[in-house]
Amino acid sequence: MNKEKPSIFERLLGTVRLQEEDLNQLPHGNMKKDFSPLKVRNEDEKVFTHDEPDEEGQLSVDMYETDKEIIIEAMVAGVRPDDLQLNIARDQVTIRGKREPNTQIQDDGYFIKELYWGAFSRTVSLPHEIIIEEADAVEKHGLLILRLPKLDKNRQTKLRVKSI
């Protein structure tokens, strides 16, 4: 396809720049199904987006652990807390949300339209069981942080027998 070195944005986002000759090499059956073009103002470079109304985007996450908890971080900038739904089980977490587009601007007023708007979700399997009741979620400057305390299966306690 394109022989130019990808830009920093293309490397970070995993996108590719398609030229007219590249489009002819794609399977024609998938072309209409997978891509829908935006209005193009610069004829040298075609911009395509995946814009199907029933599809959900996949939320990118970072997940890591400390001695006592599993931490999941996700960028949710532009999403109201009321539009986020977190479902937590002992072995997995699902984050769902919706990012509403700016409706004050008409589509023909855009030069570039690359941001993802619409519903998104992500289900992550956890490497350890967690204590659901002690889970905590905060949003700070568009970063969602989930703190999930690990269940300590080796924890023991002595129980006293009471006489009735």
pLDDT value for 121: 92
- Write down the residue that tokens 């470079």 correspond to: 45
The whole-number average pLDDT for the span 17-32 is 53
In this predicted model, what pLDDT tens digit does every residue of 40-90 receive, in sequence order?
Answer: 444 444 444 444 555 788 899 999 999 999 999 999 988 888 889 999 998
For the chain, give the secondary structure using H, E and C: CCCCCCCHHHHHHCCCCCCHHHHHHCCHHHHHHHCEECCCCCCCCCCEECCCCCCCEECCEEEEECCCEEEEEEECCCCCHHHEEEEECCCEEEEEEEECCCCCCCHHHCCCCCCCCEEEEEEEECCCCECHHHCEEEEECCEEEEEEEECCCCCCCCCCCCCC
pLDDT value for 138: 94
Share of the chain above pLDDT 90, in %: 35
Structure-model confidence comparison of residues 133 and 105, the more confident one: 133
CATH architecture, domain defined by 57-149 = Sandwich (2.60)
pLDDT value for 61: 94
- State residue 133 phi and psi, 5-degree precision: -65, -20
The whole-number average pLDDT for the span 139-143 is 91
Residues spanned by CATH 2.60.40.790 within the chain? 57-149
pLDDT value for 56: 82
